[in-house]
Amino acid sequence: MQNSTETLTLRMRGIGKTFPGVKALDDVDFELRAGEVMALVGENGAGKSTLLKILAGVYQPDEGEIFVAGEVVEISDPQDSQRRNIAMIYQELNLAAHLSVAENVFVGREPRTRLGLVDFRKMNRETRKLFEESLHTADIDPRIEVRRLSIAQKQLVEIARALSLEADVIVMDEPTSSLSESEVQVLLDLVRRLRDGGLAVIYVSHRLEEVFKISDRVTVLRDGQLVGVQSTEETNPDEIVRMMVGRELEDLYGEAEETQSSEAGLEVRDLMLPGTSQGISFRARAGEIVGLSGLMGAGRTELARAVFGADPVDGGTVLVEGAEVPPGSPGRSIAAGIGYVPEDRKLQGLFLGMSVRENVTAASSRHVGRGGFIRFREDRRLAEESREQLEIRTSSVEQS
């Protein structure tokens, strides 16, 4: 891979950011050239999201400077970032589902007729031109509602919107997390074309095989600090992992050993998902990890939700330690000892307006309540215990 130019499009120097009790970023430098794909990697909590939110204008840095095209700038809000020709494409796509593709591409910047009305004909025409000339696809009708598109197509809409803004820098946050293998390849090919056209791309991913396929350089963060920047042609995945975790890993994936436990954990017998003709059966013994694999649409999420009781089933049995769990009731599943971490944690798994403590104990009211009242001391003790056990990075369990 090669860069079309050595021109610095973006430079972040000495960036620091502190939240109550947490140093999220400490003296971080970041540079990006035109015509380059820069991967940004690090473990969860390394500071990647905080750095990107500063670039997006969501957060303001406590220390440091930002240079765009060699000029010191202050990015005080997302509009500032957009005016600096920086476009963000988040993992959770930011689209209006009931608006058309064209309306999403030009939202807030709709072309107008002489009478001040939205010029839908021009908007549709310009959107189609973007897809055909810049994204090399004619498969998406600008008039169709976004809710009818696949995840891969929605990402193309986000990219088209970024290009319509004449962005010089495009940030892609985990763009392939919900894509099939073929869709991933299409996206990577598109990123290469954007780079070859002179755009600067920040590519955030936990998938190192993608990082080495698509990026020119890799920036590694750990515990809020810059560990280093490597050319992908001069490094390898093992070295990047060492930089991410701060130690030598002799065995990246560990060794799978069959559990010797005979204790019954979870057993699923002939569970029938709606619309299927064959039941699903499996066991997970105490101390055992069982993986569910399959392509998108194969039913992995549907099976997990059905086992938890979140979705109805057409038949079958779920047992925990030999005792049958009535279907279709998350409350009874929780009481039986089944927990569920949903695919979309932000939308389905958290109360964003509530504190860490309230989220941690939301499903445990029977343990912390008495006579219809919450025992605050016990509630807080359970939250603090979970915070320590799971190493939740927060200044307080009362933080929301």
Span 220-250, pLDDT tens digits: 999 999 999 999 999 999 999 999 998 766 6
Nearest to 216 by CA among 51, 20, 6: 6
Does 253 fall in a domain? Answer: no
2 inside domain: no
Find all residues with CB under 8 Å of 90, minimum gap 6, and list them. Answer: 173
Q: Is residue 149 located within the same domain as residue 269? A: no
Tokens 């002489």 locate to: 114
Query: Does 226 fall in a domain?
Result: yes
Asked if 209 and 321 sit in the same domain, the reply is no
The three-point CA angle 269-273-274 to 5° equals 145
CA angle 388, 389, 390 (to 5 degrees): 95
How far is Cα 372 from Cα 365, in angstroms, rounded to an integer? 9
Last residue of a domain, one of 245, 276, 302: 245
322 and 359 inside one domain: no
- 74 and 53 in a single domain? The answer is yes
Residue with tokens 């820098």: 169
266 and 222 fall within a common domain: no
- The predicted pLDDT at position 4 comes to 40
Q: Are residues 340 and 380 in the same domain?
A: no
Domain shared by 359 and 323, yes or no: no
Domain count for the chain, please give it: 3
Q: Name the domain boundary from 214, 245, 276.
A: 245
Backbone φ and ψ of 280, nearest 5°: -115, 130
Q: Which residue in this structure is represented by tokens 């004449």?
A: 166
The last residue of one of the domains, among 245, 280, 309, is 245
Residue 251 lies in a domain: no
Residue range of the domain that includes 280 = 261-344
Is residue 254 in some structural domain? no
CA angle 328, 329, 335 (to 5 degrees): 145
Residue 128 falls within a domain, yes or no?
A: yes
Token readout for 355 is 């504190």
Would you call 310 helix, strand, or coil by DSSP?
Answer: coil
Token pair listed for 191: 């990123």
> Is 250 domain-assigned?
no
98 and 209 fall within a common domain: yes
Task: Please list the ranges in the chain whose pLDDT falls under 50.
Answer: 1-5
Same domain, 166 and 188: yes
Write down the pLDDT at residue 256: 63
Same domain, yes or no, for 49 and 110? yes
